[in-house]
Amino acid sequence: MENEEKNRFQIEKRMNRDFTLNKYRELCIALCSHGYTVCTVADYLENHHSEEKIVILRHDVDRKLQHAVRMAEIEHEFGIKSSYYFRYNKSVFNPASIQRIADKGHEVGYHYETLDKAKGDYKIAIRIFEDELVKFREIAEVKTICMHGNPLTRWLNRDLWKEYDFRDFGITGEAFLSFNDIPYFSDTGRTWTNKHKVKDYLPSAEPDCGGYEAGNVLKCTDDLIILLASGRIRSAYILTHPERWSNGSVEWVISHSMDMAVNLIKTVFGLGERAQRC
């Protein structure tokens, strides 16, 4: 670490700031030092991993693409390959930056939101899906896809696959629908608990709350690191949103304030109360 970065690291430690890139580095160290094999979504679905301890690492890039680039570089330092799902919008769809991430060996996936874009019209939604998928495939091979979940829209984008089959588009898996029976941890709502998660849950966890037990007690990234270090879980599926993880003080304060504002809106509208119901 450079001196400047070391100083920042010390300051953060004193302030105990969470969701910084240095904290993310600590998470990477924990994964590597406690014997977890880290893999991408596509790798997990395609290969029947027999490792004793495995973590699927996924990132949903909703905005601030440069944060994803920095996160991908940190992972590369540790030899970690993960999955990055990009939205098709002006601030995220930048072929050069996406290529930079792909060049580090990470998986490039498509973070689709076409039912939202089509305002619930399935026929329009599948056409948008097909067009946008082509754009991503001009940059990198795309094997898997992942729904974007906007808490303020009435559509669940993954419902598209109630009418259509993603395999018809050469897609091998969907980041929510293709998984079950694996502990799922997400930073949505700036917490690893299930609070403030409106659409961000594995469908398999819905009928009962078995898969949520661990996710209701992890308030900060240190808690997740302690859980991984304890060996109490042999496998995990971890999601981050790179825009949430920043080192600069101003960026961090803005990101923190935005998350708090969104959480307040969710609370006012009674959204994201799944955890409490469980």
158 binds Zn ion per the rule CB under 5 A: no
Of all residues in this chain, which one has the CB nearest to Zn ion in the complex? Answer: 148
The span from the CA of 166 to the CA of 8, in Å, is 45
Binders of Zn ion among residues 55 to 74 (CB under 5 A) are: 60, 62
The DSSP output letter for 219 is -
274 binds Zn ion per the rule CB under 5 A: no
- Of 24 and 36, the one with the shorter C-beta distance to Zn ion is 24
Judged by DSSP in three states, 59 sits in: strand
State the minimum distance, in angstroms, from the CB of residue 146 to Zn ion.
8
- Of 225 and 239, the one with the shorter C-beta distance to Zn ion is 239
Return the range that interacts with Zn ion (CB under 5 A); candidates 53-61, 162-170, 200-208, 255-263. 53-61
Contacts of 46 (CB under 8 A, 6+ apart): 143, 172
State the minimum distance, in angstroms, from the CB of residue 136 to Zn ion.
15
Angle at 76 between CA 70 and CA 77, to 5 degrees: 95
State the minimum distance, in angstroms, from the CB of residue 113 to Zn ion.
7
148 binds Zn ion per the rule CB under 5 A: yes
Find the helix or strand (DSSP H, E) in which 70 lies: helix 65-77
Return the range that interacts with Zn ion (CB under 5 A); candidates 27-35, 102-110, 130-138, 143-151. 143-151
- Of 25 and 197, the one with the shorter C-beta distance to Zn ion is 197
State the minimum distance, in angstroms, from the CB of residue 36 to Zn ion.
25
**For residues 146 and 157, is the Cβ–Cβ distance under 8 A?**
no
**Locate tokens 């879980």: which residue?**
233
Q: Is the dihedral of CA 56, 278, 262, 255 positive or negative?
A: negative
The span from the CA of 230 to the CA of 98, in Å, is 35
What residues line the site for Zn ion (CB under 5 A)?
A: 60, 62, 148
